[in-house]
Structure 1
Amino acid sequence: MSKIFAYVVVAVMAAVNVAGWWWFNRPIPVELSFNEPFPSVSFAPFRRGQGPITKVFPPPEQIVEDLRSLVGVTKGVRTYTSLEGMDIVPKAAGELGLEVTHSAWLGQKRANNDMEIAALIKSANQYPDTIKRVIVGNEVLLRQDLPVDELIGHIREVKAKVKQPVTYADVWAFWLKNPQLAKEVDFITIHILPYWEDEPIGVEHAERHILMITRMVAQAFPGKPILIGEAGWPTRGRSRGPAVANMENAAIFVRTLARVSKENGFDYNVVEAFDQPWKAKLEGTVGAKWGVVDEDRHVKFAMSGPVEPSPLWPMHAMVSTVLGVVAGLWFLRRPERYDAKAGLAVAVIAQLMGALVIWQVINAQALAYDALEDYWAYARVTAHGALAVLLVKAAGQGFARDGVPLASKTGEWLVALYGFCAISISLLLLLNGRYRDIPPMEFLAPCVGVTVYALARMAVLGLDWKQAFAISKLFGGCFPGGVCPTGKILAGLIVSVVISPLSEVVALARGEDFVASHPKLSDQLPMLTGALWENREMCVWTVMVAVMGLPFLAEWLLSRRGES
């Protein structure tokens, strides 16, 4: 292979890499548009390292700064507590021309509840022109923190001491389960979150769902005004059946909510203004990514025009391409050592691994929500990067005419470790997957990288698939016989291929509302069967687990024939 050909191959692969970044991050047209301020947005101004779990609360200047950033975006804000520094919100919001729906947070601790109620009453009476309505408790019945009679007692206490309309906020189904609450409040506050339904709703059906639920509640409680107290869509995190968490769907949902509400005269509150990093500890990545503004206070999407998945993609493309070019040119600096097929394979693997490493860095950073998570992200990126380097090195050395195959125990143990991790994650998804991330992005190198390298071994070295894929052959055959638990990992991955999609069925079957709505097994079975493939992200993960089993299957088959 000539130098000119080597340079051309590296350049073409670099261009393909950049094109791939553009394709996955190209602006996505969204026809819906709505350019009026929201009536209200949920306001919890926590930033990284802050939150009710750690008891680190925003200082007053930060709260004012965040309120100021919402001027022109919304007409009002909804709080969730009257304590924890939020007592300054009514005064600060009033000075900025924002209305406030103020709240008392109620939980299992009675003493805290009494302080919340007292603070809410004080603020409501002190700022009657700013606080337009009050909420006594949020999803208390959903969490089963208080019995309904005790909740009613708090509502009556507040109603007796403030002039503003009083309500309680919960998921719409809990109003239907506790109709006696409607008699105690001035208006009903319902949460409509299609993503979180026991039967998740895809964003394409959001309009129908909003209309159906609002009309159902209106019919159940005629004459009672209704506030949609929470409605929104997550921008990142695991999919739930047909409900996919991403930027495009979030933009579609929020724009749909605004349009449908205006057309039908609905009062609504968008959840939420800002991403909440602390929620990831309770609800996984998806719980932290409901804001229309991210944790760094960058607006995620506009209310009109196309949606950009990542405006930083040119920088990511540049870094990954440079990594690929450097790695490719390092091995192809002596092009006479390679034929055209081998040189092309090295350039492809170099660019691919550069892209996969940067994707993993982006993903790991997005999932980290505190300092400890940062270190965990560094560890995952290090493992991903180490495997990527080994794959490029193995191709660069092994595909040369005079090359010596790479002998690396690290490479084989990394592949085995990823196999064990895939089994563990699949099991956790089955046992309790509602808030657990589905991890395709975490396994790009051991799945896509290893597979492409193995296929290149078939094409360049003329090996059959077992010799090309076997785990003891990928990095020079350095495993002593029987050291790698090939059979056990293979068996675990086969089981994981079954239980991964089954986890969606288990999650759906556990839903109380699902069982209540479909009491007959004959009604449940078609929906449970459909859940096996309805979640595309889970389908991708299932395929990836199967692909990651190929090196172990090949090794097992060779060992059965005495060839390993």
Structure 2
Amino acid sequence: MLSPSKNVAHYGLAWLALVLATLAGTAWWWNIGRPVSLPDAPSDRISCVSYAPFRKPGETPFNQNYVITPERIDEDLRALSQRFDCVRTYSQSNGLSAVPAIAARYHMQVLMGIWLGGVEKLNEKEVATGIATANAYPKSIRGIIVGNEVLLRGDLSPARLAGYIEQVRAATPKSIPVTYADVWQRWLKYPQMAKYVDFVTIHILPYWEDDPVQAVDAVQHLKDVYAQMKSVFPDKTLMVGETGWPSAGRLRRSAEPSVVDEALYIRDFLRYAATVDMPYNVIETFDQPWKRSLEGTVGGYWGIFDSNERPKFPMRGPVTEEPRWWLGWLAGAVGAMAFVIVGTRRRAWHGARGWLALLLAGFAAGTSAAWQVRQMIFACAAWWEWLLSSACLLGALCVAAALARRIAAHLADHHDHSEPAPWWRFSSLFALVLYDILMAFDGRYLDFPMGLFLLPGVAYGVFGLLTHEQSMPSAEQRFMACVGPLLAIAPVVMELGMNKVTWLWLGLNLAIAVPVLVAWRWHTIRLKANEAQATHQ
């Protein structure tokens, strides 16, 4: 058992942890619900915006047999024409070759894309269709983009790409300029490509930079890059072919995907674009759920409209991250009541402190679980993702509730010497270390499921403050308690210590691991003392 002085200190720390967890959950939900004042955009209209209509469940350009109907495209462009002068497409397949003809009905222009990849037969089909479309509707085509980030992906050599560009230029009207689009760094690596295009199309996405830039500084970064590229290609018109900001997903250093930051960036960019003679295209019209399989959660949330065609933010006035923020507080209240009900089962303690501990633990657990559910709404697409995530969340809640009963008993001064079943902590540690491995070695597109692991992490941390374990933790648990925090240091280092979420993740690893390490040390010391005593006898 703990000495009296340590007992008081540890009890105080346990109360502090419960209060801080409750306040953190309360404050987080309130913070994302408050309206944030931002500078207004000069107008609701945008010069050009990327258009990919694959926004409904199961729709993806990877399915070559899936065709977007002309009626669907007509419906989209009729609505988009109210705010956009031009749309950029990326391919001729899936029915998108119909876009220029339909755009003409609504007096819109098209930056028409021809998709190039590593399959020669498909490339030839794309090029042939693109040439035919350009010749049929030259007045509605602002430019032809032959290939998108082909050099970035390594699908074609610069020479083969140049051949396709020359083929398209030779077979289409001279009035339509031809270009190629890639990230600005690839243009610096292959500057010779400029001689094959009528204008240079660069992508500047501050979130995806090798050195990510936070939203408040992102437009200045774009200005700097644009000036640099103008100096490299002084004799060419320079177009920003993609720029934008995601509204949900993984934090990269200090670059945070959020609705507020997306609104901030788009508004800042449009104000800048209105002051310079710079052709541009914003990515993108609609959120694209299919991109989550390529880029993680963040890939699906670059749209100005969500996947249901609703604007995600206004161009003027305050912006709110989560209008339904009060659901987080409601979940906290439900969690508090649920933990109190669970705590009444075979209760051997009395007094207000035990009930208070259950209320605090339950409210914190409820707000954390609500955070995780919100994350699941953004991240989960397939049924099995929902099933797996829901099962993990339910398990984490059960562990947290069971530990809350024991924490309440200790804080009510009932010295409950029982310990949680070993497999609870083993399962929590195993899941956490497994995710640590993924984050350490392939974490670029992975989210941090903070709401999920906060539940067992904080619960075990508080429980460890209140009691010594009666038995030595298993070798497997001791191993995972050592490895987990070491692996969790990797994301902190890779993000240069700038990502606040990586620090919280490291803290969770320590919260669940330290009690195991302390118990290991305590039992080792006691074992050595017993051996020494036996030797003297």
Instruction: Please give the TM-score of this superposition, normalised by the length of structure 1.
Output: 0.82
Cα distance, 1:482 vs. partner? 5.0
| Range 435-444 or range 229-238, more displaced | 435-444
Alignment of 1:8-87 (within 5 A): 21-46=29-54, 47-55=56-64, 57=66, 59-60=68-69, 61-87=71-97
Q: In 1, distance between residues paired with 2:376 and 2:359?
A: 26
Cα distance, 1:175 vs. partner? 1.6
Judging changes above 3 Å, is the alpha-carbon distance between structure 1 residues 17 and 487 closer, same or farther for their aligned structure 2 residues? closer
What amino acid is aligned across from residue 49 of structure 1 in structure 2?
G
Unaligned runs of 5+ in 2: 1-20, 528-537
C-alpha deviations, 1:311-370, integer Å up to 9, x for none?
222334324423423443664799995322222112111211122222222212211122
| Range 329-338 or range 378-387, more displaced | 329-338
- Given that residues 489 and 552 in structure 1 are in contact (C-alpha distance below 8 angstroms), is that contact kept between their aligned partners in structure 2? no
Judging changes above 3 Å, is the alpha-carbon distance between structure 1 residues 442 and 52 closer, same or farther for their aligned structure 2 residues? farther
Alignment of 1:353-502 (within 5 A): 353-395=365-407, 408-409=420-421, 412-451=422-461, 453-454=462-463, 465=465, 467-468=466-467, 473=469, 481=472, 483=474, 485-502=476-493
Partner in structure 2 of residue 155 of structure 1: 165
Partner in structure 1 of residue 494 of structure 2: 503
Partner in structure 1 of residue 112 of structure 2: 102
Cα distance, 1:44 vs. partner? 1.1
Choose the corresponding residue for 2:209, options 149, 174, 197: 197
Judging changes above 3 Å, is the alpha-carbon distance between structure 1 residues 558 and 297 closer, same or farther for their aligned structure 2 residues? farther
What amino acid is aligned across from residue 310 of structure 1 in structure 2?
E
Cα distance, 1:203 vs. partner? 2.2
- Given that residues 365 and 377 in structure 1 are in contact (C-alpha distance below 8 angstroms), is that contact kept between their aligned partners in structure 2? no
Cα distance, 1:77 vs. partner? 0.9
Choose the corresponding residue for 2:122, options 85, 108, 112: 112
Cα distance, 1:437 vs. partner? 2.4
- Given that residues 423 and 492 in structure 1 are in contact (C-alpha distance below 8 angstroms), is that contact kept between their aligned partners in structure 2? yes
What amino acid is aligned across from residue 186 of structure 2 in structure 1?
F
Choose the corresponding residue for 2:519, options 555, 560, 563: 555
1:542 counterpart = 2:506: yes
Partner in structure 1 of residue 315 of structure 2: 303
- Given that residues 486 and 556 in structure 1 are in contact (C-alpha distance below 8 angstroms), is that contact kept between their aligned partners in structure 2? no
What amino acid is aligned across from residue 188 of structure 2 in structure 1?
L
Q: In 1, distance between residues paired with 2:205 and 2:23?
A: 42
- Given that residues 50 and 278 in structure 1 are in contact (C-alpha distance below 8 angstroms), is that contact kept between their aligned partners in structure 2? yes
1:286 counterpart = 2:250: no
C-alpha deviations, 1:102-140, integer Å up to 9, x for none?
111000000100111111111112222322211100000
Partner of 1:308, secondary structure, is coil
* Matched residue count: 503
| Range 395-404 or range 368-377, more displaced | 395-404
- Given that residues 42 and 270 in structure 2 are in contact (C-alpha distance below 8 angstroms), is that contact kept between their aligned partners in structure 1? yes
Q: In 2, distance between residues paired with 1:355 and 1:490?
A: 26
Cα distance, 1:407 vs. partner? 5.9
1:264 counterpart = 2:276: yes
Cα distance, 1:88 vs. partner? 2.2
What amino acid is aligned across from residue 73 of structure 2 in structure 1?
I
C-alpha deviations, 1:236-268, integer Å up to 9, x for none?
222222322222222211111111111112111
Alignment of 1:169-208 (within 5 A): 169-208=181-220
| Range 495-504 or range 114-123, more displaced | 495-504
Partner of 2:492, secondary structure, is helix
- Given that residues 32 and 322 in structure 2 are in contact (C-alpha distance below 8 angstroms), is that contact kept between their aligned partners in structure 1? no
Q: In 2, distance between residues paired with 1:399 and 1:424?
A: 33
Unaligned runs of 5+ in 1: 1-12, 456-464, 505-530
Choose the corresponding residue for 2:103, options 88, 93, 97: 93
Q: Over the residues paired in the alignment, what is the CA RMSD in angstroms?
A: 2.9
Instruction: Please give the TM-score of this superposition, normalised by the length of structure 2.
Output: 0.85
Choose the corresponding residue for 1:136, options 128, 146, 154: 146
C-alpha deviations, 1:390-418, integer Å up to 9, x for none?
23444456666779776652xx4333323
| Range 361-370 or range 322-331, more displaced | 322-331
1:328 counterpart = 2:319: no
Cα distance, 1:481 vs. partner? 4.8
Q: In 1, distance between residues paired with 2:480 and 2:235?
A: 62
| Range 282-291 or range 189-198, more displaced | 282-291
Q: In 1, distance between residues paired with 2:156 and 2:280?
A: 26
Q: In 2, distance between residues paired with 1:370 and 1:333?
A: 37
What amino acid is aligned across from residue 58 of structure 2 in structure 1?
G
Q: In 1, distance between residues paired with 2:306 and 2:29?
A: 22
- Given that residues 357 and 388 in structure 1 are in contact (C-alpha distance below 8 angstroms), is that contact kept between their aligned partners in structure 2? no
What amino acid is aligned across from residue 538 of structure 1 in structure 2?
T
